[in-house]
C-alpha cells in the first residue's frame, strides 16, 4: 500500500532543503542522521507525489527592478477564460493568476517598476478580448511572504493527531 502524507522525516528533509537549498543529499543525510539512500528515496517520492514542485531559485521581483506589486481582480466573460489565461501568461509582469469565486473572476498578482508601469500592465490586461473590467489594489508591504513549509509541518502534526485519536 502506498504511503500518503508526510511524516516527521519528510518534513525535516523539506525544512533543510528550504533553509539550505544548495546542500547536497549526502550532507542532508549526515545532518539528519539517516542513510543517503533514504533521503534520495523520500525526495524521489515527494517529487513523484507533487509535494516538491521545483528546485529553481526563488527570484525577487524587487531585485529585478520591479519593486511595486499589485493585486488585480478581472471580471471576464466566462466562455473566454482559456484565451484570457493564455493572454495573461504572455504578460511577463503577471506573476500569477487564479480563477476565483466571489466578486470578480480572475485574480492576478502583478509586478511593476512604479505605479505608472502597474497602470500600463492593467491597461494591457484590459485589451484582452473577454476582459470586461478590473479592480486593483497596490501592495504596500509584505507581512507574510509566500510559504508552504509551515503548512507541511502542520499537516504532519495533524496526521499524527488524527492517528492518536483512533
Instruction: Give the pLDDT score at 162.
Output: 61
149, part of any domain: no
The answer to whether position 154 is within a domain reads no
Extract the C-alpha cell encoding 38. Answer: 533514504
The predicted structure's pLDDT at residue 159: 62
74 found inside a domain: yes
Domain assignment of residue 163, yes or no: no
Answer yes or no: do 120 and 73 share one domain.
yes
Q: Both 74 and 133 in a single domain?
A: yes
> Domain range for residue 97?
68-138
User: What dihedral do alpha carbons 32, 38, 44, 47 form, nearest 10°?
Assistant: -30
Residue 146 resides in a domain:
no
Instruction: Let me know whether 52 and 98 are in one domain.
Output: no
Looking up residue 50, the CATH number of its domain turns out to be 1.10.10.10
Single residue among 35, 56, 77 that ends a domain in this structure: 56
Among 115, 125, 63, 116, which Cα is nearest to 94's? 125
pLDDT of residue 64: 96
Question: Is 22 within a domain?
Answer: yes
Q: Backbone dihedral region of 36: left (phi > 0), alpha (psi from -120 to 50 degrees) or beta?
A: alpha
133 with 79, same domain? Answer: yes
In terms of domains, do 72 and 98 share one? yes
pLDDT given for residue 1 in this prediction:
42
For position 90, which CATH number holds? Answer: 3.30.70.920
Q: Are residues 78 and 128 in the same domain?
A: yes
144 domain-assigned = no
DSSP state of 57: P
Specify the number of domains making up the chain: 2
Enter the pTM of the model.
0.79
Residue at 63 is within a domain: no
What does each of the 166 residues of the chain score in pLDDT, given as a tens digit?
Answer: 455 678 999 999 999 998 898 999 999 999 999 999 999 999 999 999 999 988 888 899 999 999 999 999 999 998 999 999 999 999 999 999 999 998 899 999 999 999 999 999 999 999 999 999 999 999 999 999 888 889 888 877 666 566 665 5
Amino acid at each position: 500500500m502506498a504511503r500518503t502524507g508526510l511524516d516527521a522525516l519528510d518534513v525535516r528533509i523539506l525544512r533543510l532543503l528550504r533553509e539550505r537549498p544548495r546542500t547536497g543529499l549526502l550532507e542532508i543525510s549526515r545532518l539528519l542522521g539517516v542513510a543517503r539512500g533514504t533521503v534520495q528515496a523520500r525526495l524521489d517520492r515527494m517529487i513523484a507525489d507533487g509535494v516538491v514542485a521545483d528546485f529553481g531559485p526563488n527570484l525577487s521581483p524587487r531585485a529585478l527592478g520591479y519593486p511595486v506589486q499589485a493585486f488585480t481582480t478581472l471580471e471576464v466573460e466566462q466562455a473566454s477564460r482559456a484565451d484570457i489565461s493564455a493572454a495573461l501568461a504572455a504578460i511577463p509582469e503577471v506573476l500569477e493568476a487564479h480563477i476565483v469565486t466571489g466578486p470578480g473572476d480572475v485574480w492576478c498578482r502583478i509586478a511593476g517598476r512604479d505605479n505608472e508601469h502597474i497602470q500600463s500592465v492593467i491597461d494591457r490586461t484590459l485589451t484582452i478580448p473577454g476582459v470586461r473590467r478590473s479592480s486593483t489594489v497596490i501592495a504596500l508591504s509584505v507581512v507574510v511572504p509566500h510559504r508552504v513549509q509551515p503548512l507541511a509541518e502542520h499537516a504532519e502534526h495533524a496526521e499524527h493527531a488524527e492517528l492518536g485519536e483512533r
